[in-house]
């Protein structure tokens, strides 16, 4: 009765107060107008620095062959906009195949990371067994080894497995990240045990408890793992550069590097290539941005 009876208006006011407190930096007082204006001016100036380079690249990619891209007075808006550069880039290098390769690698990476780290994280957080500490330490140690310092040995391992110059070779080393396992372990460990007790009493086995009870409760962390697995794979440069040698197996990042090397004198093409590579990620980011900033909210709640 008492909780339900809390007037809606009161609850709303409380929520509003909580929201106002979030991110309050220098006291909750309202900003004087001049400060507000100054803030927006600063924000806009920084916006120009952070977004401007992308827009300039987009603009270059849309400029026609008769337009001077080196003009003394830079033109942001193309006077003769054209999509020819995108068609041309696809003629010169198989940019769509590169994108498909990147997509294959990234999607596989997301699936293997979500499944593999959720399973391992669940076992570490929720099961009692001999050797749990050893398993945990194994993941922590793996996390401490920087990829850059084992890259040659990874390359030799792939050679021995005859997986060099294959997309499987690109995917394998990062397909279950130790960091992700530990992230999932923490997510599972923070669930109250009572949730699973009921399922256990009902006779659910470990797999059923994992799949039906625990996993649905850690969707947020799983989403974080998925997003960063995708971005990590899509953006990776050093490892594919070392593993891949045939052009038809290139991922986008390697393809762009090749494009830049081979057609450096045609900026319009390089620009079109980079826009093809970055556009999907920016769209993905725009759709999922609240997950990117989840940590900020969490920090505020913990306060």
Partner 1 sequence: MSESPVTDRATAAAVAGPAASPAKGAAAGPAPGGRPHRKVRTHLPGTPWLFLGPGLLIVGGFSLYPFVTTVVDSFTDRRTLVEGQYVGGANYQELIHDDKFWTGLRNSLLYMVGVVPLLVILPLLLAMLVARKIPGIAFFRSAFYTPVVASVVVVGLIWVWLLDDRGLVNSMVTGLGLDRIPFLSDSTLLLVSAMLVTVWKGLGYYMIIYLAALANVPRELHEAAAVDGAGAVRRFFTVTVPAVRSTMVLVGALSSVAAFKVFSEVYLMAGPGGGPGGDDTTLVMLVKQTGTGLSGRVGYASAISVVVFVITLGLMLLVLRANRKEDS
Under the criterion CB under 8 A, does residue 33 sit at the interface with partner 1? Answer: no
Under the criterion CB under 8 A, does residue 162 sit at the interface with partner 1? Answer: no
Under the criterion CB under 8 A, does residue 216 sit at the interface with partner 1? Answer: no
Under the criterion CB under 8 A, does residue 138 sit at the interface with partner 1? Answer: yes
**Count of residues interacting with partner 1 (CB under 8 A):** 140
Minimum separation from the CB atom of position 92 to partner 1 (A): 16
Restricting to residues 88-117, which ones interact with partner 1 according to CB under 8 A?
A: 112, 115-117
Residue 6 vs 279, nearer CB to partner 1:
279
Residue 86 vs 188, nearer CB to partner 1:
188
Minimum separation from the CB atom of position 150 to partner 1 (A): 4
Pick one of 13, 83, 87, 140: the residue that binds partner 1 (CB under 8 A).
Answer: 140
For residues 36 and 243, is the Cβ–Cβ distance under 8 A?
no
Pick one of 17, 100, 198, 282: the residue that binds partner 1 (CB under 8 A).
Answer: 282
Residue 36 tokens read as 């507000």
Which of these segments, 1-9, 77-85, 90-98, 169-177, binds partner 1 (CB under 8 A)?
169-177
Which of these segments, 7-15, 24-32, 80-88, 89-97, binds partner 1 (CB under 8 A)?
24-32
Q: At a CB cut-off of 8 Å and minimum separation 6, what does 287 contact?
A: none
Kindly write down the DSSP assignment for every residue of 222-273, as one continuous string.
HHHHHHHHHHHHHH--HHHHHH--SGGG--HHHHHHHHHHHSTT-HHHHHHH
**Secondary structure percentages of the chain, helix, strand, coil, to 5:** 75, 0, 25
Residues 247, 252: Cα–Cα separation, whole Å: 11
Pick one of 82, 166, 186, 217: the residue that binds partner 1 (CB under 8 A).
Answer: 186
Residue 199 tokens read as 């399922």
Residue 147 tokens read as 């990829």
Residues 66, 45: Cα–Cα separation, whole Å: 32
Pick one of 22, 92, 96, 219: the residue that binds partner 1 (CB under 8 A).
Answer: 22
């Amino acid at each position: 009765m008492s909780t339900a009876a809390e007037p809606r208006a009161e609850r709303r006011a409380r929520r509003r107060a909580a929201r106002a407190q979030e991110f309050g930096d220098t006291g909750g007082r309202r900003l004087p107008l001049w400060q507000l204006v100054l803030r927006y001016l600063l924000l806009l100036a920084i916006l120009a620095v952070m977004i401007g380079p992308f827009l300039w690249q987009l603009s270059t990619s849309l400029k026609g062959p008769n337009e001077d891209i080196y003009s003394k007075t830079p033109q942001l808006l193309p006077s003769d906009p054209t999509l020819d550069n995108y068609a041309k880039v696809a003629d010169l290098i198989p940019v769509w195949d590169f994108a498909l390769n990147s997509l294959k690698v990234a999607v596989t990476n997301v699936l293997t990371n979500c499944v593999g780290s959720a399973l391992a994280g669940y076992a570490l957080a929720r099961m009692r067994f001999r050797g749990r500490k050893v398993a945990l330490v194994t993941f922590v140690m793996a996390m401490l080894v920087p990829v850059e310092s084992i890259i040659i040995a990874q390359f030799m391992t792939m050679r021995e497995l005859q997986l060099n110059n294959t997309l499987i070779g690109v995917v394998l080393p990062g397909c279950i990240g130790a960091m992700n396992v530990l992230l999932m372990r923490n997510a599972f460990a923070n669930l109250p045990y009572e949730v699973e007790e009921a399922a256990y009493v009902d006779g659910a086995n470990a797999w059923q408890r994992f799949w039906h009870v625990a996993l649905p409760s850690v969707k947020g962390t799983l989403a974080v793992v998925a997003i960063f697995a995708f971005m990590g794979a899509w953006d990776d440069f050093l490892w594919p550069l070392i593993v891949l040698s045939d052009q038809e197996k290139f991922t986008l990042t390697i393809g762009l590097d090749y494009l830049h090397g081979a057609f450096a004198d045609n900026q319009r093409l390089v620009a079109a290539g980079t826009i093809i590579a970055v556009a999907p990620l920016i769209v993905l980011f725009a759709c999922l941005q609240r997950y990117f900033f989840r940590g900020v909210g969490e920090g505020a709640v913990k306060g």
